[in-house]
Structure 1
Amino acid sequence: MAAHFGRRLYKGAATTAVAAVAVAALSASEAPGVTAGDDGRQATAGASSAPDTPAGAGDTATGDTQYYTDLPPLKSPEPATGTGTGTGSGTPAVGGPAEAGIPATVLDAYKKAEAELRTAKPGCNLPWQLLAAIGRVESGQARGGQVDAQGTTLTPILGPVLNGSGFANISDTDHGVYDGDSTYDRAVGPMQFIPSTWKWAGRDGNGDGKKDPNNIYDAALATAHYLCRNGWDLSDQADLNSAILSYNHSQEYLNTVLSWLEYYRKGTHSVPDGTGQLPSHSSGGGTPGTSPTNPWQPTAPTTGPGKSGTPGTPAEPGKPSTPSKPGKPGGGSPTEPPTKPPTPPTKPPTPTDTVDHLKDADAGTGELTARAGDTFARKIGARAETKAGKAVAKVRIRFVINGDTDAAFAGGEKAATVVTDASGLAAAPALRAGEKTGSFTVRALLVGRTVSAVDYRATVTARAADKLVRTGDTPLLCTPGGTFADQVEVKATYKGAVADRVAATATLVTSAEDGTENDKGPYFKGDDDKPVRTLKDLTTDGKGLIKLPKLYADDTTGTFLLRITTTGGATLTVELKVAADGTAEPSPDPSGSPSTSPSPSGSPSASPSTGS
């Protein structure tokens, strides 16, 4: 069942093949040999490749997927006169049909997610009613609103164990943290994320500092961001369809969600938490099983080879199932030969089937390097080709950022799926460096089949400046034992542009040739008022400025030097003069030590210099 893809698959009768499903996966580096599905899915071994689908759509499974198929009434609800945004189980804001009622806390979560996306991704035009439609189809609005005041489900909502027994075989990716299973994965929460997808898609929607797929605020916000990736505009029908299909690639699923979206747009009302209407029909041929602690967790199918009955229907308590008689497989006549299953028609190969390899579209064009906070100048692109080197169009390539980095694609996403053009090229969205320096990898994988991935090594360097200047030209003068009237302020730039958040150091040096710290002359005051002649951990502000603390003079007169340096090599040396009358300039002796003899010049100057 959807968002990644805890789809519920059930065994059919003996003549029905066991269904396989494409589910969210780790990158190839985390799970070698696994087919990368859209937005991180992995396909089960032997699964056929997916047919062409809209950009970002999910992989096609070889069997049925299960979700709740209840459709809204044909008669639309009356337009609501006020739906409220309740945060708990209060009195319904507006009366109306049961199908139009949404539990108060769940409704509040949807509306808060829409409000955040209106600011974070205004071009997406996400309606909260779309989240409500998906929440209805995925979990019946968190089992009719079975959540606490913070939005966390009272009991976990879990999909089936993906252990290969009637379902896809997906080994554990979260050590059981989210789904309680340290052997296999399960879809989790009211919006049904599996752990490996939640790892990159999860959000903190209620501000408690955690990203919990069992919390409706967190899950709704994650779903909102998921639907708004790839630059989709959900006011456009084609983009809306692509976004929904990327959640669960099924035409029936798309039609069901669109039906509820249209229904909710025409009117809804809030109902107390825990009183929402529960769905009763699923796409798997029957209704999900129930248990005392988890009424929406499917029961394990009890039908087996040679048995008839509804998938997922347990045997009657106290009444054992009647096995087939020996010699009568499937209940047929002893003299009848087994029925040979029909040979499925051969499908023509899809474009994805023809891809032999991926290659770097810009191989040899240089390293991927950017300063912290900047956009990488070099674009990342991968080309899909056949074994003969011919371009393959209309296949999906997924770009995934791996490593200890806060770099992200446009929109803040860690993964992006792009469809190749006529030349076989898929260009990743712009990659922006974060504040964390160091190297990481962007990996390009084919969606739907396992072929060799293409890795791009990227490096983030520290913010830097190549020039420093004083913002004022007032001479920096002081009398012995006094305080300098003006504080030193400098501005940093890089290639002419403001250099913000650049690290810098200020030191009162011995001389122009000797950069060691001077033990005499002007000084800053530390926390204990003791002299400090080196300031570390300075950083330019958003305008590239640094304003140093006040400077004080001891009883030594002369001309002294303050040197400021930044990451990137920018250096500025500023003269500080201490004289008895506050104006005369003592001349330093050749050794660089301050001298008390006056100088004919009383006009100090700052001497900027740059370094590489």
Structure 2
Amino acid sequence: MRALFGKRMRKTTAAAAVAAAAFAALSASQAPGVTDVPSGGRQSTGKVEAPDSASGDDSYYTDLPDLVSPDVDSPGDSVEADTSGIPETVLDAYKKAENALRGDNPGCNLPWELLAAIGQVESGHARGGKVDANGTTNAPILGPQLNGNGFANITDTDGGVYDGDTVHDKAVGPMQFIPQTWATWGQDGNGDGREDPNNVYDAALAAGKYLCANNRDLSKAADLREAILSYNHSTDYLDLVLKWLEKFRKGVDTVPDGTGREPGNRSDDDIPDPDPTPGPTSPGATTPPSGGGATTPPPTTPPTTPPTTPPTTPPTTPTPVTVARLVKSGGPFTATEGTAFASSPKVKAATSSGAGVPKQAVRFAIVGSTQATFADGSKSAVVTTDISGFATAPRILAGEQPGEFVIRATTTEGSRVITADFSATVTARQADALTSATATLTGAPGAAFAETVEVKATLDGAAAAGVKVTATMIKNAEGDPNDAGPYFKDADGKVIRTLTLTTGADGTVKVPEIYADDTAGTYTLRLLANGGGKLDIELKVAAAESPSPSPSPNPTP
């Protein structure tokens, strides 16, 4: 533990007093979902299961902002400096994450100062900004092993890919994501094509999306508290993050990368380390008396039975079961905009002989330019194979962007990465029929048509909402666009003769105003919808008839 986090400092009396007062103030207005968990999110008794939190409720830095805290037990010690300066690259990552969320989820109202507060508490801003030019930490930042000893008990979920531990999970990176949470919420914040929890850009964006989950509006106090507690189920943690949030909202100092000061106090400082020198365990061993004097070992009696002859055949070592390939199952995968895919990709983690490998972690990721996501809004998910070696991706939502993308299944075997790709397609909403009460429009040269056209789109007789309908002025039955005759106007008042419309919730759409040029004649407006819906409207442009001249009176004889 100490090797992971560097030098530890004792919590000061002043820090404890402030934290206790803040905790008391918050107790009366405890956020929904807050459980009675001791400091640091540690459970009070027994072994617990994996918490539903980003960090696994592991330890965190407890230093308070602007706290000058000499060690009261050692008056001669130096005073600890404020640790609130944010390294340049780390601060840039927080702000870029805020900008990204402002575009993707404006209703969340995520402030970068909240990411900074959590980054301060979780890792001291990547240990004082020890990152390279791309924002990746110079060395992995790992939390304690979540083995139930003072923390949650989370059995390994990533095969040690992120945290290097194949027995239990550890929180990873500057925002301290546990592997199973990163598998769901991991992001590529710096555009390098990787989702790396040790990269501050990736981690900050992932933390932002995690905090914005469940349609939270972080400008509301209740949603803000709920979001922070979802990161670590501790009211002490909540109070501490809120204090740093208030601090950063008042302004921050920027410091060069690598020069930031790492905090000293941690929430797990009171957990004793295991005894490095356990007592004797061999049968017959003795423990020295308290005085430290040596004892006389008991006399040994020679065995009366000759030793058994060792076996001539060495014991066999079971052959390890290794994954040789991922066998694909299912498809084709096609869904219409705004719907869910009817089925999901399935793979079998198989040995070279085809036998299934159970308990193998398989990561499914949605790859490509698409709005499709898994049902929880994420782009990736980790699934463990069942007893037969099969893993099925979670339910997939199509989104609102037609096109093709890839669903990629990945697993690791030693240093090898094994993948299997599935093709998926999102098709546009469709209508097989277009109808209108208007069949013909009549107008005068150089003027707008007085009537408007309303069109209804249906699919199998039911109203078709959200369907794209193309309206084009054509010059022949083949549908070639016309370059003369009636036209529309764009937002700048320019002449256009083709535009795209979208039907409303009731399947109807109104055609914008139509204008006639100075050429008289009969023209056609054609409307086409995805799915085969088609409708032609006749447009007649005719000059007004001139009145006939009055007959001349008969001349007077």
TM (normalized to structure 1)?
A: 0.46
Q: Specify the structure having the higher radius of gyration (Cα).
A: 2
TM (normalized to structure 2)?
A: 0.49
